[in-house]
Amino acid sequence: MKNVGNLKGVFVVLVLAGLIIAYSVHISNKTRGKEEDGAVKASVVTEILDRNLNTNYPQTRKEVIKYFSEITQCYYNEEYTDEELIALADQMLRLYDPELAAFKSHDDYIADLKDDIAEFKFNNYTVSSFAPSASTDVEYFSEDGYDWARIWCVYTIKSGKNYKPIQEVLILRKDDRSHWRIFGWKLVEKEQ
């Protein structure tokens, strides 16, 4: 009987040692994985810029608004070079309807964008979050031979510890490739 008790004790010690080793390996791999992820993980700006809109254009109105809003967040929340800002602006322009994109020259668009971003950052604002309306809340209509959609999006603007919701209505027009393009938007005024 004494041998059985000793075997149980040895077995328990071996199991505990195995668990400790397995846990140590798990923690080591988890830490190493985070380091590797940090080394190869792309920045938010890079992720936005890596999307090829020629082959991967957003399929729905809501996806167009989501990508538009992600670029907007990059403008106001992220750090980037001048070259990356121009690339972000070019991505945004690819979402625009050709009539909207032609409204300003590329240089004027970039200059106005830089001024807007500078003012936003000067006031210590960031775009905390955004929420497009549900698909059931989209208004559709046809006019001048085009299909149109009106969709709302709420942006939460943060300044210090304060948050303020801003609601915009965006108008999209379907192009000849059945892609929804942003035709324009405006701030929704609160009723008083």
pLDDT tens sequence across 138-177? 899 999 999 999 999 999 999 989 999 999 999 999 999 9
Task: Calculate ∠ Cα 188-152-112, nearest 5°.
Answer: 65
| Residue 128 lies inside a defined structural domain of this protein | yes
| Residue 11 lies inside a defined structural domain of this protein | no
| Residue 98 lies inside a defined structural domain of this protein | yes
| Residue 13 lies inside a defined structural domain of this protein | no
| Residue 164 lies inside a defined structural domain of this protein | yes
Q: Is the dihedral of CA 70, 72, 77, 83 positive or negative?
A: positive
| Residue 33 lies inside a defined structural domain of this protein | no
Number of domains in the chain: 1
Domain of 48? 44-187
Looking at residue 3, its pLDDT comes to: 54
Find the CATH number of the domain harbouring 76: 3.10.450.50
| Residue 16 lies inside a defined structural domain of this protein | no
| Residue 25 lies inside a defined structural domain of this protein | no
Whether 66 contacts 58, CB under 8 Å: yes
Confidence of residue 35 (pLDDT cuts 50, 70, 90): very low
53: which residues sit within 8 A by CB, 6+ positions away?
91, 94, 95
Distance CA 13, CA 10 (A): 5
Q: What average pLDDT does range 16-27 have in this prediction?
A: 46
Looking at residue 48, its pLDDT comes to: 92
Distance CA 155, CA 173 (A): 22
Q: Do β-strands 162-174 and 139-143 pair in parallel, antiparallel, or remain unpaired?
A: unpaired
Confidence of residue 112 (pLDDT cuts 50, 70, 90): very high
